[in-house]
């Protein structure tokens, strides 16, 4: 089986900035999804999630990095997806994300210097502005992109979260071992 070379895709300074991260805050609409709101005939919300993002979240868990979702909406589809991914920390239906983030940090015994976030609009700005590493997808509102230390190449709902997960895994020194494990080789 041929070896896979891991190409450093991120600037060294960004990897250094991301190294202490132990908690990732994520928004949903525009970050884990494409930002579109889909409604079925009975009025239920439908969400489209990308498998790359989901696998990235699972890899973070294997590396000991917590994921927390803080979102202004709530839906059965979202709850099912987060449960399937093993996301243990979620706050639904809040436009005031800062108090929720501060409470999660406190409960986990972490500080802002150990947190990263990805958001795309004004409700995300208070969290983005405090995290050690702030990220935004390319379709984010200009103010979110202005606060971002990294703007992903992949759009929201199409691998943006996976790109951030890869960054965190590389920064923490977990990427290579997890890749080897996925290939069935000893780490």
Residue ranges at the known binding site for Mg(2+): 27, 120
Distance in angstroms (rounded) separating the CA atoms of residues 161 and 156: 7
Pairing of strands 66-70, 115-118: unpaired
- CB atoms under 10 Å from CB of 111, counted, come to 14
Distance in angstroms (rounded) separating the CA atoms of residues 137 and 128: 13
Measuring CA to CA, how many Å separate 30 from each of 34, 57, 100, 123?
Answer: 5, 16, 19, 12
Q: Annotated binding site, which residues?
A: 27, 29, 120
Q: Annotated binding site for substrate, which residues?
A: 29
Contact (CB, 8 A) for 19 and 107: no
């Amino acid at each position: 089986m041929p070896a896979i070379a891991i190409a450093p895709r991120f600037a060294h300074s960004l990897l250094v900035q991301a190294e202490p991260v132990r908690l990732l805050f994520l928004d949903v609409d525009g970050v884990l999804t494409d930002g579109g709101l889909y409604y079925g005939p009975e009025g239920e919300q439908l969400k489209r999630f990308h498998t790359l993002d989901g696998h990235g979240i699972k890899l973070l868990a294997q590396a000991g990095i917590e994921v927390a979702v803080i979102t202004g909406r709530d839906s059965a589809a979202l709850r099912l997806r987060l449960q399937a991914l093993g996301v243990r920390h979620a706050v639904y239906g809040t436009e005031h994300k800062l108090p929720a983030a501060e409470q999660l940090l406190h409960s986990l015994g972490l500080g802002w210097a150990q947190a990263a976030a990805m958001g795309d609009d004004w409700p995300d700005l208070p969290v983005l502005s405090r995290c050690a590493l702030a990220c935004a997808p390319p379709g984010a509102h200009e103010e979110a992109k202005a606060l971002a230390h990294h703007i992903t190449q992949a759009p929201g709902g199409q691998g943006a979260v996976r790109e951030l997960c890869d960054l965190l895994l590389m920064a923490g020194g977990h990427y290579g071992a997890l890749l080897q494990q996925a290939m069935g080789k000893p780490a």
